[in-house]
Amino acid sequence: MRRLSILAFLLVLSFGSLSAQELPYFVTYSHHMEEPGSLDLETKALAGTPRDGNSFGAAALEFEYGTTAWWTSELYLEGQKTAQDSTIFTGFRIENRVRPLMREHWINPVLYFEFENINGANKSLLEVVGHDGNDDLTGANAEGRAEKEREAELKLILSSNAKGWNFSENIVAEKNLKHAPWEFGYALAASRPLRLEGGTRTSPFALQNFAAGAELYGGLGDRDSFGLHETSHYFGPSLNWSIPSGPTITFSPNFGLNDHSAPRLYRFGVAYEIGQVSRFFGRHHQGVR
């Protein structure tokens, strides 16, 4: 097992690593796709203490692959640990994002399709939809685990770049494939690198390697009771640091904006991009000369 780990580590190192400036978002998607042939490995961790519940820590391990320059595919594996309870695997998601327009516009749409097979104990909060709230984070793991959630999720991603800023808006529609009405949610975000010009220093602490922003996300009820009421909403500033030839580290404290939300959540992410992993599989993308 140890040998296998070392081999996997060496394999990762043998590919070129990238550290392109990532956006400091945990929930919101922008129109920026993964570079074709590159694999982005990312851990999105979340910690919090819901009202009348035990503290928990959840993690989603994300594999993001640039299938083409206009199509990105992802796989998430998720789990959580709740204090005075167990540590469990809570499911997986497969998603695809497609850019229908081949050029840059004022507003750039992206279509997002996801299938998720998770259970009721999932606490990754990669989106908030319907009437999701504090109470969904307080149940015992054994009970939540028994509740299967096979869901299809659609997102319309709109994103713009202007004067160094990125503005992204997501509209979410999710449907449990067994029953239950369509549920809706939203996510909004804005961010900007701390320095717009590239510097002449190669220091990892150069300001161009940092980006700051903020996210606002929450539920919009369901088909039968659409609106901002009886659901949770969160807001949080975020900061990331893209270490040259290394990982990107992102942190964001999120604050619940109403009584249905958990009071505070802390998000932490580490992303490492492996450049041109497709070379390993003998697949190359046609370039532009």
Q: Which residues bind other proteins (CB under 8 A)?
A: 16, 18-21, 23, 30, 32-33, 35-38, 66, 68-70, 99, 102-104, 161, 163-164, 166, 193, 196-200, 202, 208, 244-245, 275-276, 279, 284-289
Q: Which is nearer to other proteins, 223 or 284 (CB)?
A: 284
**Of 95, 83, 151, which Cα lies nearest the Cα of 120?**
151
Print the SS3 string covering 248-287: EEEEEEEEECCCCCCCEEEEEEEEEEECCHHHHHCCCCCC
Residues 96 and 113: their CA atoms lie apart, in Å, by 5
**Least CB distance from residue 160 to other proteins, whole Å?**
10
Q: Which is nearer to other proteins, 122 or 159 (CB)?
A: 159
Print burial letters for 86-119: b (CB count within 10 Å at least 16), e (below 16).
eebebbebebebbbeeeeeeeebebebebebebb
Strand spans (E) along 83-205: 87-98, 108-119, 148-162, 165-176, 183-193
**Least CB distance from residue 61 to other proteins, whole Å?**
22
Q: Which is nearer to other proteins, 4 or 102 (CB)?
A: 102
Residue 87's DSSP bridge partners are 81
By residue count, the chain amounts to: 289
Q: Which is nearer to other proteins, 1 or 102 (CB)?
A: 102
Cα 30–Cα 34–Cα 40 angle in degrees, nearest 5: 110
**Least CB distance from residue 237 to other proteins, whole Å?**
20
- How many whole angstroms from its chain centre is CA 112? 13
**Least CB distance from residue 254 to other proteins, whole Å?**
23
**Least CB distance from residue 203 to other proteins, whole Å?**
10
Sign for the pseudo-dihedral over CA of 222, 224, 227, 228? negative
Residues 172 and 186: their CA atoms lie apart, in Å, by 6
Q: Which is nearer to other proteins, 227 or 244 (CB)?
A: 244
Q: Which is nearer to other proteins, 71 or 255 (CB)?
A: 71
**Least CB distance from residue 194 to other proteins, whole Å?**
11
**Least CB distance from residue 269 to other proteins, whole Å?**
17
Q: Which is nearer to other proteins, 1 or 10 (CB)?
A: 10
